[in-house]
Amino acid sequence: MTRLQAIIVGVCLVLGLVGYAVFGRPGMGDLPMKERQAEIMEKIRTAPETLTPAETLARLEQTSIDQPDAPEPQYYIGVIMRQQNRPDDAARAFQSALRRDGTYVPALIGLADVLVELEGGGVTTDAARLYARAYELDPSEVRAGMWAAMGAAQAGDQDKAAEMMRAVFANLPEDDPRRERFAPMLDAIGRDAPAEQ
């Protein structure tokens, strides 16, 4: 280490100590996690709208520890990470939720959405597979069915995409307003499956 480097390190240490003494709380001990969680729970009970994202995340992490098999805490951690523009962390949280329950539809869709986001809007094979699985588990997730069809189309499998779009349309109730939005797409691909030769 050169003399200049040693001086710079020394100045940084002194500034850090002075800053802590002036702005920090040297006489206050760390708050144990149990007390911090109790404070958060009281805040949830009395004024949940005042929770900060960090407090919400801390509570979800504790819930994940308390309920290790539940996918919901990890799913909501993923939602928060995505809102904070941390798609890689969000993907890990959604994957964690799916390790707890591989059929948890919100996490399937959440992970697929993040994969699409990371791909710049393109529906990867993995994202299409996740959307298709979510739609298979819950046919009311029309958006997932459409994204699965879009993934097939982007992969060049127009027949599969058309088949999936027809299946999504067929599962919609007759009075569902989304049927009107499907009409132009179905007209473009043909409402009926092509005849077998």
Give CA–CA dist 134/176, Å, rounded: 20
Q: What is the pLDDT of residues 149-161, one digit of tens each?
A: 999 989 988 899 8
More confident of the two residues 102 and 1: 102
Give CA–CA dist 126/144, Å, rounded: 13
Average pLDDT over the chain reads: 86
- Tell me if 111 sits within 8 A of 91, measured CB to CB: yes
**pLDDT value, residue 48:** 86
| Structure letter (DSSP) for residue 32 | P
The full set of domain ranges for the chain reads: 39-189
Give CA–CA dist 194/190, Å, rounded: 8
For residues 117-137, give the mean pLDDT. Answer: 96
| Strand residues in the chain grouped as ranges (E) | none
Q: What is the pLDDT of residues 15-73, one digit of tens each?
A: 766 665 555 544 434 567 778 888 888 888 898 898 888 888 989 999 999 999 999 99
pLDDT at 133 over 90: yes
Whole-number percent of the chain with pLDDT over 70: 87
The 10 Å Cβ neighbour count of residue 23 is 7
Whether domain 39-189 has CATH 1.25.40.10: yes
